[in-house]
């Protein structure tokens, strides 16, 4: 799929409505997240067990510096790298979704990606309310999306709500 599908026309228009894409809802995003977590665990657990042994699973808190790098830094770097290079993590790619700038529909920048990732922690702090916000929001944005000014879209299937982008 071409990235052009997510770009509004270059003509100066106050508000561009895209009939080619739709906002991705809560359950599709949950499924994409599950795929991502399975992949992350498939990479991280063998490394952690190789370094710390099966006793790793008995530890509370960080087991050591390798644990910090593998459990915390690797998922952050991988997620941000996928958003910047592919516009999606593997889970989002599996559902044909892309993370784009909420205003223009174009690729997000490194700052947006970092804010979006850190925003996940804010979204989940109050009993996951920030993530559940996707259910109630017209543009299907969680708090992490709102903080980073991003939306998650995919090729149009059946959404009644058109996707709106301002032009750059």
pLDDT, mean over the chain: 87
For the whole model, what pTM was predicted?
0.80
pLDDT over threshold 90, residue 82: yes
pLDDT over threshold 80, residue 161: no
Q: Which residue has the higher pLDDT, 1 or 155?
A: 155
Q: How far apart are CA 35 and CA 33, in angstroms?
A: 5
Q: How far apart are CA 148 and CA 96, in angstroms?
A: 21
* Percent of the chain that is helix, strand, coil (3-state, to 5): 55, 10, 35
Q: How far apart are CA 76 and CA 167, in angstroms?
A: 30
Q: How far apart are CA 77 and CA 119, in angstroms?
A: 15
């Amino acid at each position: 799929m071409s990235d052009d599908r997510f770009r509004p026309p270059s003509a100066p228009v106050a508000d561009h409505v895209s009939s080619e894409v739709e906002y991705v809802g809560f359950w599709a995003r949950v499924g994409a997240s599950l795929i991502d977590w399975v992949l992350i665990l498939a990479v991280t657990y063998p490394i952690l067990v190789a370094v710390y042994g099966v006793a790793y699973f008995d530890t509370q808190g960080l087991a050591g510096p390798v644990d910090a790098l593998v459990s915390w830094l690797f998922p952050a770097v991988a997620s941000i790298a996928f958003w910047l290079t592919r516009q999606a993590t593997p889970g989002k790619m599996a559902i044909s979704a892309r993370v784009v700038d909420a205003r223009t529909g174009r690729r997000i920048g490194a700052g947006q990606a970092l804010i979006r990732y850190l925003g996940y922690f804010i979204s989940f702090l109050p009993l996951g309310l920030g993530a559940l916000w996707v259910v109630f929001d017209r543009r299907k944005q969680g708090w992490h999306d709102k903080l980073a000014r991003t939306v998650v879209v995919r090729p149009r299937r059946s959404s009644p709500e058109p996707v709106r982008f301002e032009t750059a």
